[in-house]
Amino acid sequence: MSNTAWENLVKKQLKTEDIYPVLTKENLEGIVVKPFYDEVQDQLVNLPKVEENTHLVARYHESLEEDVFAFLLDENVENLLDKTIFVDNVDLAGHISPKQEDQYFSLIDVFDEKETIINDQLVKELLAKQFKRNICVDISLHQNAGAAIYQQLGIALAKTKEIAEVYGEGILNKLIFRIAIGGNYFFEMAKLRAFKLVFNQLSKEYNLDEIPYIFAETSLRNKSASDHENNLIRSTLELASAMIGGADAVFSNDYLVGKTTENSEEISFKQQIVLAYESIINVFEDASNGSYLVEDLTRQIAEKAWTYFVEIEENGGYLALMKQGIIQKQIYEHAVEEQKWVEEGKIKLIGVNLYPKLEVKKSVEDLYNEKDIKAVRWAEMFE
């Protein structure tokens, strides 16, 4: 169909001659979203995963041992044979001595964000372990603190470059990226795809051709302390975005904010099981490839992320800018603007600022500090 034919069809379906006010949506990412799409320009090749199938990761519980293949551990468990293990505890990592055939991954961030340094001793200890991926670059904190998507990816690249400059380019295939997935469904798919593009581009600067290993978890930012069922729906969509976007492993944070129970942990994992076994989206290499919208979003996000990364490097690198408080301030400015949109209802959060609309109890100033990167839930303003 021609562009005009598409437009006429959209007008007919929406029963209006002026479709643009209806279909044009603002966003804080600076991404242009067209009212409708009629083609994809220069379609990307399939963006591969490291893992053949996305790992479905559960927090360890003995009742799950028989059925679950991948666990997140923060305390030692003996005799977990034929399992994939993601270690989330520094002390535990120090005591584990995996065998060659074991599948162990570290989720321990080697960057000390408070001291603005790389923990050299920790890096060396982890590199000495027989882990499949030893070194974690964590940008989940940045998403939960309110960083824009392009900021998250630019920071991931900048942190990667800091590590490679110190420990050599050979460390790139030892990295695992811990990324939080927000509620903007198609943007988050595109975020993971864009990260694969820009990480691969960075690896080529070192004459390599690497793919990032992505551990994706559900965001805390859009969760409410009182609307548990809504949280469950939100995190299910986030898991779907992660699987379709090509994450190598997915993990669902508990939908009960601050009130974890054995039952809620089981339900959180079952979200992944239903998606994987009933929709089979965890087995595809790049399920959204060819989507007019997602392809366009992927390119735009990749370009903005790379530009931000270059800006960081030209001004001294991630740690230098952290020491100056510049990264913190940039995230703060985006987070505050995002929070204002929540307060005004431009970003809708059911049961918080819509159905019903709660009273504001905390100001933006109460929630955020321009000198600190810290996780803040949107709903905290109303709780």
Q: Find the helix packing angle between 149-167 and 120-127, rounded to 10°.
A: 80
Q: How confident is the model at residue 59 (pLDDT cuts 50, 70, 90)?
A: very high
Where in 235-299 does DSSP place strands (E)? 249-251
| Terminal-residue alpha carbon distance, the chain | 50
Whole-number pLDDT of residue 38: 81
Strand partners, 20: none
Q: Give the chain's mean pLDDT.
A: 95
Q: Tell me how far apart the 2 most distant CA atoms of the chain are, in Å.
A: 67
Residue among 203, 219, 190, 201 nearest 301 (CA):
190
For 215-229, the pLDDT digits (tens) are 999 999 999 999 999
Whole-number pLDDT of residue 214: 98
Whole-number pLDDT of residue 36: 85
What DSSP string runs through 51-77? SSS-EEEEE--GGGTTT-SEEEESS--
Whole-number pLDDT of residue 100: 63
Whole-number pLDDT of residue 203: 98
Whole-number pLDDT of residue 101: 66
Q: Sheet of 103-106: strands edge to edge?
A: 103-106, 84-87, 70-73, 55-59, 249-251, 214-218, 175-181, 135-138
Q: How confident is the model at residue 321 (pLDDT cuts 50, 70, 90)?
A: very high
Whole-number pLDDT of residue 35: 86
Whole-number pLDDT of residue 120: 97
For 175-211, the pLDDT digits (tens) are 999 999 999 999 999 999 999 999 999 999 999 999 9
Whole-number pLDDT of residue 1: 63
> Does 239 have pLDDT greater than 90?
yes
Where in 233-378 does DSSP place strands (E)? 249-251
Task: Provide Rg for the chain, Cα atoms.
Answer: 21
Handedness of CA 318, 323, 324, 327 (dihedral sign): positive
